[in-house]
């Protein structure tokens, strides 16, 4: 069992409320369970699966790229600096997922040997997902 600290981002009912897509919600719940149980490696894998599923949130009406672009546009409120920021973050997380041994296990993938790196990947990806989820389906802000 993990000890919580001020840097932990909880995945709880309130954070998941805006998410209507059952598969995405389920992956986030699984990630949280593995994380809380101290299995951060599997938690990161589930979280990256959730990230990939998030990018298809508006499918089949939109393809994966269009769906991701809609999420970024909604998060950005039409402000170019935020479009650039969130677009880069989506791209960076996609690159991390493709280059490191998170979801893919080919011999060419970069091994993650330090659990603190898993912690970093988990919190970085979770931060983007929880922020994006606040904008899904035209959710109003604060």
In whole angstroms, give the CA distance from residue 61 to residue 79.
25
Which residue segment(s) compose the domain that 40 sits in?
Answer: 13-138
pLDDT at residue 20, as a whole number = 83
pLDDT at residue 82, as a whole number = 98
Instruction: Please give the full DSSP string across 36-58, using - where no structure is assigned.
Output: HTT-HHHHHHHHHHHHHHHTTTT
Give 1-59 pLDDT, tens digit per residue: 444 443 455 565 667 777 888 999 999 999 999 999 999 999 999 999 999 999 999 99
Domain contains 2? no
Domain contains 8? no
Kindly state the average pLDDT of the residues 118-133. Answer: 96
Whole-structure pTM value:
0.85
Domain contains 63? yes
Total structural domains within the chain? 1
pLDDT exceeds cutoff 90 at 141: no
Domain contains 110? yes
**Residues pairing with 110 in the sheet:** 100
pLDDT cut 90: percent of the chain above it: 75
């Amino acid at each position: 069992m993990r000890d919580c600290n001020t840097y932990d981002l909880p995945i709880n009912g309130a954070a998941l409320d805006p998410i209507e897509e059952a598969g995405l919600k389920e992956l986030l719940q699984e990630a949280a369970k593995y994380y809380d149980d101290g299995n951060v490696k599997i938690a990161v894998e589930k979280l990256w699966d959730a990230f990939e599923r998030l990018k298809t949130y508006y499918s089949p009406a939109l393809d994966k790229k269009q769906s991701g672009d809609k999420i970024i546009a909604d998060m950005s409120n039409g402000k170019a600096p935020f479009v650039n920021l969130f677009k880069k973050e989506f791209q960076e997380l996609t690159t991390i997922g493709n280059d490191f041994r998170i979801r893919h296990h080919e011999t060419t993938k970069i091994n993650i040997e330090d659990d603190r790196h898993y912690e970093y990947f988990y919190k970085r990806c979770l931060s983007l997902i929880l922020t994006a989820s606040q904008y899904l389906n035209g959710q109003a802000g604060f």
